Amino acid sequence: MKQSNTYLKTDISFGGILQPIVESLERNQRQPGKLVGQEVVIYTRDDVQAIIALDAGNNVHLLITPPSNGDPRLSRFELKGLKITDMEWSVAGRNSQLYLDISCATGTMPSFRRPFLRFAEDVLLEISHPERVPADAAYTTCLRWRKFWSPEIGTEITREWIHGLFGELVFLADLIERFGPGVTDSWTGPLGKDQDFQKGTDIAAEIKTSVEIPVSIICNIRQLDSDLFKQLYIVCYRLTPSETGITLPEMVRRVERLLGEDETQLDKFYEKLTAAGYQLQLESSYSEFRTDYSQAVVYRVDDKFPRIVEKSFIDAPDHRITGIRYTLQLTGLSELTIDSVADQLKRFVK
């Protein structure tokens, strides 16, 4: 039975169609070595068919005909959790035939499912272009997603890195709950900005975490330059290691749930998560760090706020001097709450 896409031929999109199909397939009995599947219609192509399928191990497969005929480009990708090959299957009421089989080990790595389904939807979108060979579509999509799936990215796992990203995700989740998914656009820290959240020159927030008492944070000489923005805030979370606390992957799942079916914002979230150094294949390592966190304490940064910026120097530091950092204790300063500055924070989505 064909799965009828609800999109017009003049407005091709596959965003979000695979998740409900896979959820439906999960209710079917499966046997080792066999697949259950559902065809996904590609209205623009009569010469290409696609099937989304599940095996007995709960691994997801995107099957495409015609197959790649052993295209050597696809075998060169070393993508953690993904496998791309030509395989013969009998599925979705069809006779046994050879498919281009793009599969993901979602049975052993369930957190890979949502990204893989988005990846598969990108493959389908590529294939929908007339005369695009399926192997070329898979290759192009792999190139775009290679950084996300690659096992070669050498991010060092440190408590400081985990705590830093954890704090940014806590703040992001809070803003999404208050103001909606559009706030993801303002998460700029992973893209190399000095402030973790920024909306032009209107408003910015630097997110800090600390395990110390009194709370102390590390800043560079550009992070607290209030001349760059109409409003600049520090948002600080006190973290406490705890066996019953929350892990970084659990915070990622929370943001995913809050973004729901907003595929555009999910794409942006995954892009920025990857840019921040997050790797799906390392989630078991990230999960070794469990943390409780306090309510956010917010500080308005103005000319009276203690900080070091470039104008603090009589002569600005030579541009060849980089990485200037200092430690600031947040004691004796006026404290605000997220609720008290909510009207200002809403500008992150305006």
pLDDT digits (tens, 9 = 90+) for 65-88: 999 988 888 876 666 678 899 999
> What does the pLDDT read at residue 276?
85
**More confidently predicted of 232 and 317:** 232
Query: Residues 194, 293: one domain?
Result: yes
pLDDT band (50, 70, 90) for residue 157: confident
Q: DSSP characters for 254-280? A: HHHHHHTT-HHHHHHHHHHHHHTT--G
Backbone angles phi, psi at 107, to 5 degrees: -70, -40
Structural domain includes residue 219 = yes
**Looking at the structure, do residues 30 and 138 belong to the same domain, yes or no?**
yes
- Containing domain of residue 98, as a range? 2-149
pLDDT category at 151 given cuts 50, 70, 90 is low
Tokens of 17: 């169609």
Residues 144 and 164 in one domain: no
pLDDT tens per residue across span 293-312: 999 999 999 988 888 887 88
How many domains is the chain partitioned into structurally?
2
Q: What pLDDT does 147 receive? A: 63
Tell me, yes or no, whether 25 and 126 share the same domain: yes
Cis peptide, bond prior to residue 181, ω within 30 of zero: no
Among residues 128, 149, 170, the one where a domain terminates is 149
Q: What is the mean pLDDT of residues 17-45?
A: 90
For residue 248, with 0-12 CB atoms within 10 Å meaning exposed, 13-18 middle and 19 or more buried, which class applies?
Answer: buried
The C-alpha atoms of residue 39 and residue 56 are separated, in whole angstroms, by 18
| Domain's final residue, options 149, 181, 209 | 149
Task: Give a yes or no: residue 188 inside a domain.
Answer: yes
- Quick check: 111 pLDDT over 80? no
Segment 246-266 shows an average pLDDT of 88
In 10 A of CB 51, how many CB atoms? Answer: 23
DSSP state at residue 295: P
Question: How many C-beta neighbours within 10 Å does residue 33 have?
Answer: 8
Angle between helix axes 113-127 and 18-25 (nearest 10 degrees) is 120
Answer whether residue 71 is part of any domain: yes
> Is the residue at 67 inside a domain?
yes
Assess whether 207 and 337 both reside in one domain.
Answer: yes
Q: Are 235 and 207 in contact (CB under 8 A)?
A: yes
209 and 144 belong to one structural domain: no
Give yes or no: residues 130 and 169 share one domain. Answer: no
Same domain, 194 and 323: yes
Q: Does the residue 227 lie in any domain?
A: yes
Residues 178 and 114 in one domain: no
Point out the domain boundary residue: 118, 149, 180. 149
Among 2-6, 143-147, 239-243, which is the least confidently predicted range? 2-6
pLDDT of residue 5 exceeding 50, the answer is no
**Residue 268 domain flag:** yes
Question: Does the pLDDT at position 103 exceed 90?
Answer: yes
Query: Does 154 map to a domain?
Result: no
Give tens-digit pLDDT for 176-219. Answer: 999 999 999 999 988 777 789 999 889 999 999 988 878 888 88
Among 174, 51, 59, which Cα is nearest to 116's?
A: 59
Domain shared by 227 and 337, yes or no: yes
Q: Do 69 and 179 belong to one domain?
A: no
Q: Tell whether 34 and 120 lie within a shared domain.
A: yes
